[in-house]
Amino acid sequence: MAFYKDKDRNRKKIILIASYRPRDCGIATFSEDLVNSLESLDDNIEVNIIAINEPARKKCRYSSQIKLEIEQENLQNYNRAVEYINSSDAMIVNIQHEYGLFGGKDGEFVVNLVKQVHKPVVVTLHTVLTKPSLQQKEILRTLAECCDAIVVMAEAAVAILAKNYNIPDDNIIMIPHGVPETDFENQISAKKQLRIERHTVLSTFGLIGPGKGLEYAIEALPKIKLSHPEVKYFILGRTHPNLISDGHDWYREKLLSKISDLNLDNDVCFVNRFLSIDEIISYLKATDICLTPYLNAQQITSGTLAYALSTGRVCISTPYVYAKELLKDGHGKIIPFRDSDAIAKSVLEYLNDSSKQVKTERSNYVYTRNMTWRNIAKSYSKLFNKVSLRRTKHEPK
C-alpha cells in the first residue's frame, strides 16, 4: 500500500497541520475527531500533529500527539515545520485550511510552507468563499497547484472552486463533514437527564458571535410562545475568544439586553462554555428544533448543522451555502436571512404537526449515516493511499 514506511510496511504515518484541542476552535475539534477516527480505523495508522497556536493567547497544554507548534504569526516557525516534515518518515501531510488559521495577510504563510514540503500534501478546505478577494483567490489557486489533492465538505464547493477560482475538479474530492456515531432516540430521556422535561427545546450551539444571527431567533420567541408557552431556547457555547476584549463580551451583553427588553429572561438559557462532544450530543438529543440563523451566505460547512442532523433533529436555517445543500429534499427548512417572523412561522409549522416532525427526525438520522466519523476516516485513508501511490509513480509535485 502506498503511504507505508519503507522500514515497516505495516505502519502508516500521517502529519496533520491544524489547530487542535484543547484550543477552543471548530477546526480543532474537527481535527481531533478526524485523528481519533483514523487511528481507531487501523492500529497501524499514526498521526503526528503540528498545532497552530493563536497569537496573544495562553498556550495550550497539548497531548504527546503534538510534535511541533507553530505560533500563527511567526514565519520562522513555518520554516521549522518544513524542516521537520521533510526530515520525517511520514508519507502524507494533511493541512486543515481556513484563511484565519495561518499567519500573514489572509493566512498567506501557509503557501510557502506547502511550496517547500517534499511530501504528498492533501489540503482540506473549511472555507471556500463565493466572493473572494484577489489575495484569497490567489492563495487557494496556489495551494491547489502545489498540493496533491483538495478535500471539500460540500458538492457546491467543487463548482465554486471551478467558477470563481479557475481550479479544475481533477484533484478535488468531496468528503462530508464527520459526525459522531450515536443511536436514534426521541427527546424524552435526554430531557429527563438534563431536567428540562417540561420544555419544548429550541437550541443553537457553537462558538458565539455576531455572525450567528442569534438576535433574530430571540426575536422570534414571543410569537412562538403565544401558542407554545413551554418553549425554551438554549444557546450552547462560549463567545468566540477573539470577540472578548478586556473581559468585555459585547455581543452576549447585546443579546442579554434584547432578552430583557422582550421579557424573555426565563425563556432563554445560556450555557456559556465550550462543550464536550458528549455534552453537545446530550443537548441535541433533548432538542426539538435546532436553529442555525447564521448571517454569512458564503458559509460552506457547519459542524453544528451536521451534528444536529446526525442526531435526527429538525433543523431550521438561513440559506448559507452548506445549509442549502444539506437541508434539500425535505431534511429541514430554509428561511430568509434576518427574518424573525420566518423563524417563528417555521418553528410552529413543526411544533403544530408532530407527525411531520417525527418523520423528518427519522429521515435525517438515516440520511447522515454515511457521515459518521468512521466512514469519513475510511474516505480519508483511501484518499491518502491513492495520493501516495500516485506520487510514487510520478515525479515529485
pLDDT digits (tens, 9 = 90+) for 98-120: 999 999 999 999 999 999 999 99
User: Hey, what amino acid is at 37?
Assistant: S
Which pLDDT belongs to residue 6? 42
Residue 332 scores a pLDDT above 70:
yes
| Predicted pLDDT at 337 | 99
Domains of the chain: 12-178+372-393 (3.40.50.2000), 188-370 (3.40.50.2000)
Q: What is the pLDDT of residue 3?
A: 41
Cα–Cα distance measured from residue 9 to residue 1, given in angstroms and rounded to the nearest whole number: 8
Closest CA to 47 of 82, 12, 98: 12
Q: Cα(114)–Cα(232) distance, rounded to whole angstroms?
A: 48
Cβ contact 144:171 at 8 Å: yes
Q: What confidence category does residue 396 fall into, taking pLDDT thresholds of 50, 70 and 90?
A: low
Q: Per-residue pLDDT averaged across 279-283, rounded? A: 97
**End-to-end C-alpha distance for the chain, whole angstroms:** 20
pLDDT band at 1 (very low <50, low <70, confident <90, very high): very low
Give the residue, 34 or 57, on which the prediction is more confident. 34
What is the SS3 assignment for 89-130? CCCEEEEEECHHHCCCHHHCHHHHHHHHCCCCEEEEECCCCC
Q: Could you tell me which residue, 246 or 381, shows the higher pLDDT?
A: 381
**Half-sphere exposure of 228 toward its Cβ, with a 13 Å CA cutoff?**
23
Give the CA radius of gyration of the chain: 22
Q: What confidence tier does 397 reach under pLDDT thresholds 50, 70, 90? A: low
* Mean pLDDT value across the chain: 94
| Rounded average pLDDT over 347-363 | 98
Q: Is the pLDDT of residue 8 over 70?
A: no
On the question of pLDDT at 57 being above 80, the answer is no
φ/ψ of 352, rounded to 5, equals -90, 0
